[in-house]
Amino acid sequence: MLKTKMALDVEKIRKDFPILKVKVNGKPLVYLDNAATSQKPKQVIDSVTDFYENYNANIHRSIHKLGEQATAAYENAREKAADFINADSGEIVFTKGTTESLNLVAYSLSNELKENDEIVLTQMEHHSNLVPWQQIAKKKKAKVRFAEIDSKGELKTDQFNELINKRTKIVSVVHASNVLGTINDVGKIGKIAREKSDACFIVDAAQSAPHMKVDVKKMNCDFLAFSGHKMLAPTGIGVLYGKKDLLERMQPFLYGGHMIKEVTFNDSKWNDIPWKFEAGTASIAQAIGLGAAIDYLKMAGMEKIAQHENELAEYAMEKLSEIKEVEIYGPSAGKRVGVVSFNVKGVHAHDTSAILDSEGIAVRAGHHCAMPLHSVLGITASARASFYLYNTKEEADKLIQGIRKVIKVFK
Ligand SMILES: Cc1ncc(COP(=O)(O)O)c(C=O)c1O
């Protein structure tokens, strides 16, 4: 692997992740299922423990010391999330995760959709950026159109010129595919969307925000969604970024406590953004954990993380391509995040995964919540190795050895 001045100190990073000392089936854990969820460093775990041990209270309501401390920590996490993607804190809505963020946008924007309006997605969407639009389109008699992928697993970006027109009201695309790893040129897609329509431009950053620098101003997107648990934070916390004027205009998704300014028996007035979209008791500890995760990622450096994962993906793909029984999906390493999906020809991905598990290697197998994409690829399932900042070249080697064992067992 190419070592540059920019390289991460992976050995030091690994010491921060207690779970990496765990043995699985008597073997050291090789955790390559980061696209599903990442592991958590001690700094994040400690931040959550500190909250529960020292200042646990509900936020935005209790006029006592703990309540004030908890509120400040929660809002501080919002500031960190805003800074992480170059947004203002008023544009950051905390949700449960990417799925809830995308459902919130879809539900709220659906109020403005009419019959024959069009929604443009891609063939490589995760179900969470496909099913909500599909269901809303059915209800509103709108049409969903899909940009295709080519034989290398790259998006046919120029197709957006034909797909987007004056009837297009929504363009929603994944930044990095959770199956192919492909990094899409969202800047270009957004530009086409603005030239050809007055559509809302939405980016699913679940697989990009944890792994590379994401800048909503540079992207010029209207909305962007990501999940904390895929970027070192706890589960149950996610972000929806939305441009201020759009958040102001949109109807709330959930109704209840805290999202209101005033309630009478007959009517209600909504709170200011972003709180208008945060009904009920928030995921307080989880948001604080997200703040600690962002601190950690920034300390490591997003550029270094991207470079490290790219080197690991390139190395793994090079070794995998030397095995004639293995089929790899998606583009070359420079055009993808550290996600490598593959199949051992004639072996079901679940069997591949089970053999790898016997060696302590965790990968995901299945359709990865992207069934339509798998049908385009002509397969029903794939195995997926996905790297993060704490993975090493030695772990990639173990993956390759594990795959050789799969071939030995099944061939
Ligand atoms: C590209 C993509 N979008 C959306 C999601 C949904 O994220 P969550 O399950 O955290 O809501 C995922 C999760 O794997 C994903 O990979």
The mean pLDDT value for 27-39 works out to: 98
- 8-state DSSP, 52: I
Beta strands in 136-235, from DSSP E residues, in sequence order: 143-147, 168-174, 200-204, 223-227
Statement: residue 3 has pLDDT above 70 = no
pLDDT at 6: 64
- Contact of 7 with 308, CB cutoff 8 Å: yes
Q: How far from chain centre, in Å, is Cα 223?
A: 14
In angstroms, the Cα distances linking 231 to 206, 290, 295, 387, 389 are 9, 8, 11, 12, 10
Q: How many whole angstroms separate alpha carbon 121 and alpha carbon 223?
A: 14
- Identify the band that residue 61 occupies on the pLDDT scale cut at 50, 70 and 90: confident
Nearest CA to ligand 1 atom 7: 98
- Contact of 174 with 190, CB cutoff 8 Å: no
> What pLDDT, in 10s, does the model give residues 347-401?
999 999 999 999 999 999 999 999 999 999 999 999 999 999 999 999 999 999 9
Å from CA of 378 to ligand 1 middle = 22
- Contact of 167 with 144, CB cutoff 8 Å: no
The residues that bridge with 239 in the sheet, in sequence order, are 94, 226
pLDDT at 85: 98
Q: How many whole angstroms separate alpha carbon 150 and alpha carbon 158?
A: 12
Q: How far from chain centre, in Å, is Cα 98?
A: 6
- Residue 98 Cβ inside 6 Å of ligand 1? The answer reads yes
Nearest CA to ligand 1 atom 15: 206
Which alpha helices (DSSP H) does 9-97 contain, by range? 10-15, 42-50, 65-84
- Contact of 252 with 278, CB cutoff 8 Å: no
> What pLDDT, in 10s, does the model give residues 274-310?
999 999 999 999 999 999 999 999 999 999 999 999 9
Amino acid at position 229, single letter: H
Kindly indicate whether the domain formed by 45-298 is annotated with CATH number 1.10.540.10. Answer: no
At 2 the three-state DSSP class reads coil
* Nearest alpha-carbon partner for 94 in 279, 249, 258, 231: 279
List the catalytic residue out of 323, 369, 376, 409.
Answer: 369
**pTM value?**
0.97
State the CB neighbour count (10 A cutoff) for residue 393. 13
Statement: residue 1 has pLDDT above 50 = no
369 is catalytic: yes
Statement: residue 5 has pLDDT above 60 = no
Angle between helices 65-84 and 284-300 (to 10 degrees): 40
Classified by CATH at the fold level, domain 10-31+301-410 comes out as Aspartate Aminotransferase, domain 1 (3.90.1150)
The mean pLDDT value for 149-159 works out to: 97
Delimit the domains of the chain by residue range.
10-31+301-410, 45-298
Token pair belonging to 179 = 């199956």
